[in-house]
């Protein structure tokens, strides 16, 4: 069994890579999905967020106003740290439970890919991944995608990028880099190549990632 950490800056295309790896046979555990699950209505996570930030971060139906909360925390590093102190332990526990399920149901050659947006922010050591894959694009392309595809203002896009680790830090922790600044066809080919190496490593045919 091979444990892979997959990360990339916002707008880099990490989710596209995760989707392709899942299609090729990987078991993908999405930390973003966990981040949503731990703050659903009725959860301790949502209750703690409301206590920290007030009812202004709740929608009329009692669910989390994600856009409103993002506008608050990504403009204030202290508030972002407060939010992370609430959600990160809950997300880690959710991820651990999903991995245990994958271990019980998968075989020895299983490749478990952890889709982790904040891997470069210090989670690699504690998570003990066998391989770290970083999806990378230039910062200028991140900004272009966030403003053009996600409808953010330039100021919002800059704040979201600044709230994450630097591109240089992500590349420092990478065992494998997937450049996603080209076409979708380029990405397809690179992901297939990476998958071939990961699958071989999981089955014991090779010791190092491609």
User: What's the pLDDT tens digit per position in 56-93?
Assistant: 999 999 999 999 999 999 889 999 999 999 999 999 89
The pLDDT assigned to 64 comes to 97
Nearest to 34 by CA among 81, 105, 101: 101
Q: Is 53:79 a contact under the CB 8 Å cutoff?
A: yes
3-state secondary structure of 210: coil
pLDDT band at 210 (very low <50, low <70, confident <90, very high): low
pLDDT band at 126 (very low <50, low <70, confident <90, very high): very low
Which three-class secondary structure string do you get for 115-176? ECCCHHHCCHHHHCCCEEEEEECCHHHHHHHHHHCCCCCHHHHHHHHHCCCCHHHHHHHCCE
CATH superfamily of domain region 2-202: P-loop containing nucleotide triphosphate hydrolases (3.40.50.300)
What are the strands of the beta sheet with 131-136, ordered from one edge?
27-30, 111-115, 2-8, 131-136, 176-179
Please state the pTM of the whole predicted model. 0.79
Residues 154-170: tens digit of each pLDDT: 999 998 899 888 899 99
Read off the pLDDT of each residue in 133-157 and give the average, rounded to a whole number: 93
Helix (H) or strand (E) holding 29: strand 27-30
φ, ψ of residue 50 in degrees (nearest 5)? -65, -35
């Amino acid at each position: 069994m091979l444990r892979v950490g997959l990360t990339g800056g916002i707008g880099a295309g990490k989710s596209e890579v995760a989707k392709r790896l899942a299609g090729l046979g990987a078991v993908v555990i999405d930390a973003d999905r966990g981040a949503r699950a731990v703050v659903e209505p009725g959860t301790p996570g949502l209750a703690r967020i409301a206590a920290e930030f007030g009812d202004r971060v709740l929608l009329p139906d009692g669910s989390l106003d994600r856009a409103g909360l993002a506008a608050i925390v990504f403009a204030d590093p202290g508030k972002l740290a407060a939010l992370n102190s609430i959600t990160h332990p809950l997300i880690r526990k959710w991820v651990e439970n999903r991995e245990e399920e994958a271990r019980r149901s998968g075989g020895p050659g299983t490749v478990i890919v952890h889709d982790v947006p904040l891997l470069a922010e210090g989670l690699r050591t504690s998570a003990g991944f066998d391989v770290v894959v970083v999806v990378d694009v230039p910062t200028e392309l991140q900004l272009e995608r966030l403003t053009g595809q996600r409808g953010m203002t330039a100021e919002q896009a800059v704040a979201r990028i600044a709230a994450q680790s630097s591109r240089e830090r992500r590349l420092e922790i990478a065992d494998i880099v997937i450049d996603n600044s080209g076409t979708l066809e380029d990405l397809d080919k690179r992901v297939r190549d990476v998958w071939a190496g990961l699958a071989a490593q999981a089955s014991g045919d090779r010791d190092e990632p491609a």
